[in-house]
Chain A
Amino acid sequence: MTTATQKQPPASDRHRNSTIRAVLSPWREVPFLGWLLGALAAVMLEHSVGSSLALTLGLRRIPVLFGFELMLKAPQHIPGMLVYLVLVYMLPAALVAVATRGLTNALAARLLQSPALSLAVHLVLLYGCMHFWCALSDYRYLVAQLALIAVMLTLSLNVINGYMGEFSCSHPGFMALGAYAASVLTVLLFVEDDVFGPPLLPPTLGPFLFPLALVAGGLVASLGALAVAIPSFRARGDYLGVITLAFTFVVKSLFENLEIVGGPRGFMNQPNWAGLPTVFVWAVVCVAVINNFVRSTFGKALNAVRDGETAAEAMTINTRRTKTVAFLSAAFWAGVAGGLFAHVVGYINPATFGAQKLAEVLAMVYFGGLNSVIGSIAGGLGLTLFSEMLRPLEVWKWVIIPMLLVLVMTRRPTGLIAFREFDALKLLGPRGRWEGGVQDGTAGG
């Protein structure tokens, strides 16, 4: 039935289709650079006139997370809110993006001649957007930090659950190891603390040595990961799932019983060194490194192990080494993310790293999409933002999010953007009629 109508659309339909295409075509020609520029224009506009516009529209303050929380709390503000969103975000971003497309396309093509430069320019612009957006509210700043940390957790879990196809529940455990290890290091070395005493090193050195503390946290998590990597040589599927779950609970009860780090009461005093720029840089490095890995032949071996271990071995793949590298590297990034989390929040307790955290990270992985870097970015950012937006709904939030997840899972069992190769350079190229001039047209996977 539908195919018949598609074959012979009525004349009016055809006409409408062509107008739609005519309206859409300038948008299709906007390169990623153009969208970044548009977004930057929008957030800068908000930065200068946002609060006065909000007052004019009868809103008490600027809509913090795109007005969602205000709309839920005070429905009478919905019209004002929508006007705000259109005037501040959509219109300026769209106009700038489309108007500058000639320029941005030319620039994107030029930049691609030096991929590193192109990446750097895009990242600076991206950070610029976040910077101006977050400058207006501490809450936004915190949400942005947590969202980036969520991306790191999601992507690293995807390495195991998506790329290697094991169902691992050990991520909260890895995160806890990294969080506690990094916290103990920074507090012991740089902070005056009741338990750990005076700082052992001059605190002014702290911010410079902070990356080392995070790396140490990551390495501790990797070491812990041996406890699941070794069983994974023999156990697979449900059995391994149970082992990884046990790991998380063992780590949690370990910290509950470790009085020196506060036991169940938790551990605080972490210095405030994980600002948005720091978290941003770590998240970018994490995405770049993991993306590099999963696109290499070494990384593809994970897929082979997932889809058939016998064949993988027969094709010279050392499956034990592959599993070890997958678990240890995933744990490393989860540990680094944990360390960042501890220093963003300034307080951790064992309960943070339990079943709820596990459910969150798993939801982000499966929502965003298995075996996909871009899916994990979307899942981590998307669910963090969404869950903050729904905060006013309180308990209902925990009805809506799982239902949404069920909906996604029934429609797309592998997630929204699953099995997609992420080639940043392809994303950054020119679009539309500017496309293809410089590129050599190599086919990608």
Chain B
Amino acid sequence: MALLEVEGMTHYFGGLRAVHNYNLQIQRGEIRGLIGPNGAGKTTIFNLITGIYRPTRGRIVFEGEDIVGLPPHRIAARGIARTFQNMLLWRHMTVLEHVKVAHYARIDYGLVGAFLGTPRRRRQEAEFEERSYELLRMMGVERFANKVITELPYGAQRRVEIARALATEPKLLLLDEPAAGMTPEEMIEMVDTIRRIHSMLGMAIFLIEHRMRVVMDLCETIQTLNFGEVIAEGTPDEIRNDPVVIEAYLGKEVVT
């Protein structure tokens, strides 16, 4: 059984058809890419899978259960974590707090613990903190732990956002342009980091990226989207040489 299965998903924004008859199967532990020109509907697909929007039509099945209509926090707690294209970070919070609070679904000390500070709460908070440091270390941003997020350079903020997503212990991680706005060196480091977290934690990864280097390096299979529809699907080599894909991108950047 596939980890995630999307069948015939269609989504309209008013009269605009952003996604049309979209199908997807992601196996456990696989890395898959999603590319397509601006406005193709890539981010919308992430928003549909994570429950921010409800699809007009179609099914989304995660670990054998239909998740359409569940509130986003429930979907996240089931094991679908994500980052955002424009990084939705919490501007008054420290880096450590970002990662710690993403353990929310694991809290088991209840309201009594939250208000009264029971030993169980102390134990669990210490556990969250330790794990948070571990994830920050994994993403190479441990030294910023007690800084407020806005004091960090851009690249480090992106890494914190991934660490935060990892804290929810995802089985599927959705990355929306993780290397956007990065220098070529930063981009290569990011590819390495993604590969490292994948081999350490073993979750499936579904990533959107404009930088072809990133997708081609990381992904086993790639989907190409245009005007909300999949126009090509295959290995990096197949995609690179597909005339339909080249056409969609009008030749720009595809071969780099």
Known interface pairs A299-B114, A315-B102, A316-B168. Does A310 touch B52 (Cβ–Cβ under 8 Å)? yes
Known interface pairs A303-B90, A308-B88, A313-B76. Does A297 touch B81 (Cβ–Cβ under 8 Å)? no
Which A296-322 residues have a C-beta within 8 angstroms of B?
296-301, 303-304, 306-308, 310-320
Known interface pairs A289-B116, A304-B90. Does A315 touch B71 (Cβ–Cβ under 8 Å)? no
B183 to chain A, nearest CB (A): 25
A393 to chain B, nearest CB (A): 37
Interface mask (B103-120 → A, CB under 8 Å = 1, otherwise 0): 111010101011111000
A297 partner residues in chain B, CB cutoff 8 A: 100-101, 103-104, 107, 125, 128
B174 to chain A, nearest CB (A): 9
Q: Does B121 contact A (CB under 8 A)?
A: yes
Q: Does B165 contact A (CB under 8 A)?
A: yes
Bound-state CA distance A317–B168 (Å) is 10
A311 partner residues in chain B, CB cutoff 8 A: 84, 88-90
Q: Does A419 contact B (CB under 8 A)?
A: yes
B115 and A307 contact, CB distance less than 8 A: no
B73 partner residues in chain A, CB cutoff 8 A: 312-319
Interchain CB contact (< 8 A) of B121 among A296, A306, A419: A296
Interface mask (B67-97 → A, CB under 8 Å = 1, otherwise 0): 0000111001100011010001111111011
Pick 9 A–B contacts, CB within 8 A, sort by A: A292-B116, A296-B109, A297-B104, A297-B128, A298-B107, A303-B97, A306-B90, A310-B84, A314-B84
A300 partner residues in chain B, CB cutoff 8 A: 93, 97, 100-101
A307 nearest in chain B by CB position = B90
Q: Does B235 contact A (CB under 8 A)?
A: no
B100 partner residues in chain A, CB cutoff 8 A: 297, 300
B92 and A371 contact, CB distance less than 8 A: yes
Interface mask (A366-387 → B, CB under 8 Å = 1, otherwise 0): 0000010000000000000000
A325 and B111 contact, CB distance less than 8 A: yes
B76 partner residues in chain A, CB cutoff 8 A: 313-316
Known interface pairs A315-B101, A315-B102. Does A303 touch B92 (Cβ–Cβ under 8 Å)? yes
B92 and A307 contact, CB distance less than 8 A: yes
Bound-state CA distance A233–B52 (Å) is 15
Main secondary structure of the interface of A (DSSP, over half): helix
A315 and B104 contact, CB distance less than 8 A: yes
A296 partner residues in chain B, CB cutoff 8 A: 109, 113-114, 117, 121, 125
Interface residues of B (CB under 8 A from A): 50-52, 71-73, 76-77, 81-82, 84, 88-94, 96-97, 100-105, 107, 109, 111, 113-117, 121, 125, 128, 145-146, 164-165, 167-168
The contact size tier of chain A is 20 to 34
Bound-state CA distance A289–B117 (Å) is 8
Additional pairs, 7, CB under 8 Å, beyond known A297-B128, A303-B90, A308-B90: A298-B104, A304-B101, A307-B90, A314-B50, A314-B72, A314-B84, A319-B73
Interchain CB contact (< 8 A) of B88 among A289, A310, A317, A325: A310
Interface mask (A318-334 → B, CB under 8 Å = 1, otherwise 0): 11100001000100000
Q: Does A445 contact B (CB under 8 A)?
A: yes
Bound-state CA distance A320–B74 (Å) is 12
B113 partner residues in chain A, CB cutoff 8 A: 296, 298
A445 partner residues in chain B, CB cutoff 8 A: 94, 96-97, 146
B115 and A316 contact, CB distance less than 8 A: no
B101 partner residues in chain A, CB cutoff 8 A: 297, 300-301, 303-304, 315, 317
B103 nearest in chain A by CB position = A297
Bound-state CA distance A325–B113 (Å) is 13
A314 and B117 contact, CB distance less than 8 A: no
A316 and B90 contact, CB distance less than 8 A: no
Bound-state CA distance A238–B75 (Å) is 30
Bound-state CA distance A310–B167 (Å) is 17
Bound-state CA distance A296–B106 (Å) is 13
A301 partner residues in chain B, CB cutoff 8 A: 101, 104
A423 to chain B, nearest CB (A): 12
A304 partner residues in chain B, CB cutoff 8 A: 90, 93, 101
A316 nearest in chain B by CB position = B105
Bound-state CA distance A326–B151 (Å) is 28
B168 partner residues in chain A, CB cutoff 8 A: 315-316
